[in-house]
Amino acid sequence: MIRVLIADDQHLVRSALAALLNLEVDLEVVAQCADGDEVTAALALHKVDVALVDIQMPRLDGLSLAQQLSQTHPEVKVLVLTTFDRPGYFRQAFEAGASGFLVKDAPPEDLVSAIRKVYAGDKIIDPQRAMLSVETQRNPLTDREREILAHAASGAPVSRIAALVHLSVGTVRNHLSNAIGKTNTANRIEAARKAREQGWI
């Protein structure tokens, strides 16, 4: 019997996944959590073999959670679930110590077989996505550039960004200009979009 923990911020999805998995005779959902903090609490109470964690979660997101679990509970295999298939997520998930990666658009059979494989110690690598992942180059942005670009994403004018980051407007514009160059886009907005897609911010 494989003991599964489910972490997803949407109650309905969480329960529905639990219902789906409980249909399998060799799977047992032992805990359901709405965010990363609940997961750590749940791990203290239950023995868990496989943790199914959504990337998009409030407070402690799925990737940070995966990273944390790989250190505090290395015996728990982490299977990362995501709604959006951003190219960066795949790499980030494995860097964070996850054993598998699945898109929510995958057929349910893939999910259960992934859980069994991960439990057996395998890594789930979709060859097609692995290709895509090597193509995506590493984050070329510096810390400052990422920080400033993140603020720019919401449409804030340079002056406001400068105030938020405690820098001169000129410096902010330089950082943005660099980010725009590195992403080879035309303006801060497109740069922010691209950076987000690539998982750089």
Partner DNA sequence: ATCTGCCCATGACCGTTGTCATGGGTTCAG
Partner DNA sequence: CTGAACCCATGACAACGGTCATGGGCAGAT
Stretch that binds a copy of itself, among 38-46, 97-105, 122-130, 135-143 (CB under 8 A): 97-105
Quick check: 95 and 40 in contact, CB under 8 A? no
Quick check: 179 and 141 in contact, CB under 8 A? yes
Tell me: does residue 188 bind DNA (CB under 7 A).
Answer: yes
Tell me: does residue 96 bind a copy of itself (CB under 8 A).
Answer: no
Tell me: does residue 142 bind DNA (CB under 7 A).
Answer: yes
Distance CA 149, CA 111 (A): 35
Stretch that binds DNA, among 50-58, 79-87, 96-104, 138-146 (CB under 7 A): 138-146
Which does residue 16 touch among a copy of itself, DNA, none (CB within 5 to 8 A, set by kind)?
A: a copy of itself
The distance of closest approach from Cβ of residue 153 to DNA in the complex, given in angstroms and rounded to an integer, is: 12
Tell me: does residue 10 bind a copy of itself (CB under 8 A).
Answer: yes
Which pair of tokens denotes residue 172?
A: 């902010």
The residues with which 79 forms a beta bridge, in sequence order, are 52, 100
Of residues 30, 41, 32, 86, the one with CA closest to residue 63: 86
Distance CA 59, CA 35 (A): 7
Tell me: does residue 181 bind DNA (CB under 7 A).
Answer: yes
Residue whose CB is less far from a copy of itself, 22 or 168: 22
Sign of CA pseudo-dihedral 129, 141, 84, 186: negative
Question: Residue for token digits 């407070």?
Answer: 59
Which does residue 154 touch among DNA, a copy of itself, none (CB within 5 to 8 A, set by kind)?
A: a copy of itself
Residue whose CB is less far from DNA, 6 or 141: 141
The residues with which 102 forms a beta bridge, in sequence order, are 81
Distance CA 125, CA 14 (A): 24
Residues in touch with DNA (CB under 7 A): 142-145, 157-159, 167-168, 170-171, 173-177, 180-181, 187-188
Contacting positions for a copy of itself (CB under 8 A)? 9-13, 15-17, 19-20, 23, 81, 83, 102, 104-108, 111, 154-157, 185-190, 192-193
